[in-house]
Amino acid sequence: MYQGKVVFNIKEADNIYLLGIEAPKKILKSFKPGQFLKIKIDKRFDPLIPRPFSIHAIDENILYILYQVVGKGTKALSEIKKGEIIEFLGPLGKPFPKIKNYIICAGGIGIAGFGFLLQKSVNKKDFYPPEKIFYGAKTKNELVRLPFLKKFGIPIKLSTDDGSKGYKGLITDMVEKELKKNPQIILACGPQPMLKKIAELGEKYKVKTYLVMETFLACGIGFCMGCVIPSKKGNYLHLCIDGPTFLAEEIDLGFLS
């Protein structure tokens, strides 16, 4: 576990926060887009297990975490104040694949991990930038970090379920329209129903599709064998060491709701 000092914990929307953690540069330099870390909320026993979070961005010695309050752990994280010390473990998992000519599909807080990818793709050396970003949420208030995302110059297509901003409807509808015109590799992160639909679209239009998965994750380093993802071969993949990004064709999508 490493230690870092909280430099801000800002509310971006009703239940979405941006956390900034100051940590040594030599530690942060080891992180790559697509990897994650585990944060120990504090020294209390409840919640006991450190929570996993995507890396949203890194600037010098500041690590950015974009998260949504969905349970006891993230609720406790939202109450942490500037100046507090927290512990984190990482980097964990494998980076995003180094691919060209692809689009990003992000549903809700699924946008969190793609900010760091955009940062690292600027020089087109370590990672390549996407052709377009498709970003959807329930309402316009949940479309967060847009000024940050727009500064990279990548076209962003927005959708909301209620039509309050961008296309009214599901972001997967917009992705399908894009694939009809120009089939491209897909890199997607978001709710399970969205990922299942994206996988179906990838198969329909015969494009390689990468899904960033989530599941219960305890140790984060492969010891507990708790974060299993069923594969089409009949065995199991482990999110913490095999993922969190998987080829859709490799996993059994039946477990997605």
Q: Note the pLDDT tens digit of each residue in 6-44.
A: 999 999 998 999 999 999 999 999 999 999 999 987 655
Q: What is the pLDDT of residue 45?
A: 45
Q: Is 67 annotated as a binding residue?
A: yes
Q: Is 52 annotated as a binding residue?
A: yes
- DSSP assignment string, 3-69: EEEEEEEEEEETTEEEEEEE--HHHHTT--TT-EEEEE--SSSSS-SPEEEE--EEETTEEEEEEE-
Q: Is 74 annotated as a binding residue?
A: yes
CATH 1.10.1270.20 fits 102-212, yes or no: no
Residue 226 has pLDDT above 70, yes or no: no
Q: What is the pLDDT of residue 10?
A: 97
Residue 171 has pLDDT above 90, yes or no: yes
> Minimum mean pLDDT among 32-36, 54-58, 121-125, 222-226: which range?
222-226
Kindly give, in sequence order, each residue whose CB lies less than 8 Å from that of residue 127, ignoring residues fewer than 6 positions away: 33, 96, 98, 117, 120, 121
| 49-82 pLDDT, tens digit each | 667 899 999 999 999 999 999 888 889 899 999 9
| CATH fold for domain 2-91 | Elongation Factor Tu (Ef-tu); domain 3 (2.40.30)
Higher pLDDT, 98 or 126: 98
Q: Is 66 annotated as a binding residue?
A: yes
pTM: 0.92
Residues of the chain with CATH 2.40.30.10: 2-91
Residues of the chain with CATH 3.40.50.80: 102-212
* Inter-residue contact 79 to 25 (CB < 8 Å): no
Q: What is the pLDDT of residue 40?
A: 84
Q: Is 237 annotated as a binding residue?
A: no
Q: Is 68 annotated as a binding residue?
A: yes
Q: Is 240 annotated as a binding residue?
A: yes
Q: Is 54 annotated as a binding residue?
A: yes
Q: Is 116 annotated as a binding residue?
A: no
